[in-house]
Amino acid sequence: MLFSMDHWRHAFKLDPNKEISDKDLESVCESGTDGIIVGGTDDVTLPGVVDLVSRVKKYSVPCVLEVSSIDAISPEFDAYLIPMVLNSQDKQWMMDVQHEAIKQYKHFMSWKEMFFEGYCVMNEDAKAFTYTNCKLPTREDVLAYAYMAEHVFHLPYFYLEYSGMYGDPDLVYDVSSELGQTKLIYGGGIHTLAEAKEMSMYADMIVVGNAIYTNLTEALQTVRIKQQSF
Amino acid sequence: MLFSMDHWRHAFKLDPNKEISDKDLESVCESGTDGIIVGGTDDVTLPGVVDLVSRVKKYSVPCVLEVSSIDAISPEFDAYLIPMVLNSQDKQWMMDVQHEAIKQYKHFMSWKEMFFEGYCVMNEDAKAFTYTNCKLPTREDVLAYAYMAEHVFHLPYFYLEYSGMYGDPDLVYDVSSELGQTKLIYGGGIHTLAEAKEMSMYADMIVVGNAIYTNLTEALQTVRIKQQSF
């Protein structure tokens, strides 16, 4: 059966550059989350990625890599998420690094396990925002990006990334109304179950990242959105 | 029934900036071609486009607009082709002008009649090449662009545009081998039936443009590829 993330409602995002104890990692992997996303913006290195995935793979939870550097791709993941930064001002981050990767790896990798995601970075203070030279989009810009992700590019995922900052639920709602086939992923600033619930009302999947490292007990509670019916 | 160009094997491309007599236009429209594409690179104005489409619409041949300027879109066409220049060095020509158009017109237009095409401009001397700040791709680049058009962006068409120059049939063959669902359009330098035949062996659709204005008798012969079985 093909690997799919389409049913995921909750994911934890682990940063290969941040320390996490074996005990805490076990709590995360055994939390009941739908999957682990490994990803970070800067200094993502192959040894860091390999170390983290090998630790996660001790558990049965699916583990996918959000590729931020072509030099840090390890074959041990269940699948690979390839971000295309729609609100970058440089074509490089929208499609050229991806084009280069395809040129190099086309014959070696199983593209059935590659999922391209339309990425929209919503936080001007985020490293990813600066690194990929983004421009802060207006509400109308975001809705048109979502429209393109679905109707022009037919991407499986549209990722609204507030990266450390809790986003605007009204905008998440508007984007969700714009999308049909393309799944909406929300990430950024979710630290509590209440926040997780709010964003889950609109997003198909929520991603909890920083909270793992700041307040793990609260972070683990966010998985309970899966028990709720909305 | 929805409008489709998927069965087109031959199209004539008319430039709103070039003069064509009523008699010649009749020959083109009644030639048996599958359709007329109206398109040009510079100084495409709404009055020029409107004048040309109204003359073409006297005939039963389908007529589509290849949009090069958001200010020159007339509603009289059967469909609209939206180029996304994959080998431009600027994100602007790959997706930003299209994003702007979607923002403005999303609620007014029927997107069922909009076809986005992955465009690859192969002629350094072409106006379109300079205008959209293209970089000449290598063979491997082109194949990876074709791969992206199909597998990443799921675009209905991949347009290999040699713009006035007869292209490399081996590359057209290689690209056609790379594509499955996405249809390959070839354009550039076709002046004779022999050239039309050669490119038709690999491309799903060939486009004949300049020859209309330089040697119409020969240009009209290219429609005969439709009688051939390959």
Interface probe with A: pick from B80, B81, B82, B102, most Cβ of A within 10 Å: B102
A88, A103, A154 ranked by CB distance to B153: nearest: A154
Q: 111-170 in B: which are within 8 Å (CB) of A?
A: 111, 116, 140-141, 143-145, 147-148, 151-155
Confidence check: pLDDT of B222 > 80: yes
Q: What is the pLDDT of residues B141-178, one digit of tens each?
A: 999 999 999 999 999 999 999 999 999 999 999 999 99
Smallest Cβ–Cβ distance between B91 and the set A89, A98, A154 belongs to: A89
Task: Determine the pLDDT at residue B44.
Answer: 81
Asked if B98 reaches chain A (Cβ–Cβ under 8 Å), the answer is: yes
How many other CB atoms are there within 10 angstroms of residue B217's CB atom?
Answer: 8
- A91, A103, A154: residue with CB nearest B144: A103
pLDDT at res. B72? 81
B90 CA to chain A: closest CA distance, Å?
6
Question: What pLDDT was estimated at residue A41?
Answer: 74
Contacts of A20 (CB under 8 A, 6+ apart): A14, A28, A212, A213
Nearest to A94 among B95, B102, B154 (CB): B95
Task: Kindly list the residues from chain A whose CB atom is less than 8 angstroms away from the CB atom of residue B144.
Answer: 99, 102-103, 106
- What residues of chain A, 41 to 80, have a C-beta less than 8 Å from chain B? none
Q: DSSP of B134-199, one letter per residue?
A: B-PPPHHHHHHHHHIIIIIS--SEEEEE-TTS---HHHHHHHHHH-SSSEEEEES---SHHHHHHH
Q: How confident is the model at residue B227 (pLDDT cuts 50, 70, 90)?
A: confident
Average pLDDT over residues B207-224: 97
Query: How does residue B111 score in pLDDT terms, banded at 50, 70 and 90?
Result: low
Q: Give A206: exposed, middle or buried? Use CB within 10 Å, 0-12, 13-18, 19+.
A: buried
Residue A120's beta-bridge partner residues?
A160
When CB atoms are compared, the residue of A90, A95, A144 closest to B99 is A144
Looking at residue A90, what is its pLDDT? 96
- Integer Rg of chain B from CA: 16
Regions of chain A short of the pLDDT cut 70: 1, 109-112, 228-230
Residue B228 confidence (pLDDT) above 80: no
Q: Which residues in chain B are closer than 8 Å to A154, comparing Cβ atoms? A: 153-154
Bigger pLDDT: A95 or B112? A95
Chain A hits for B149, Cβ within 8 Å: none
* ipTM score: 0.91
Does the global pTM surpass 0.90?
A: yes
CA-nearest residue to B89 within chain A is A91
* pLDDT, mean of residues B80-89: 96
Three-state SS at A206: strand
For B39-72, the pLDDT digits (tens) are 987 778 888 999 999 999 999 999 999 998 877 8
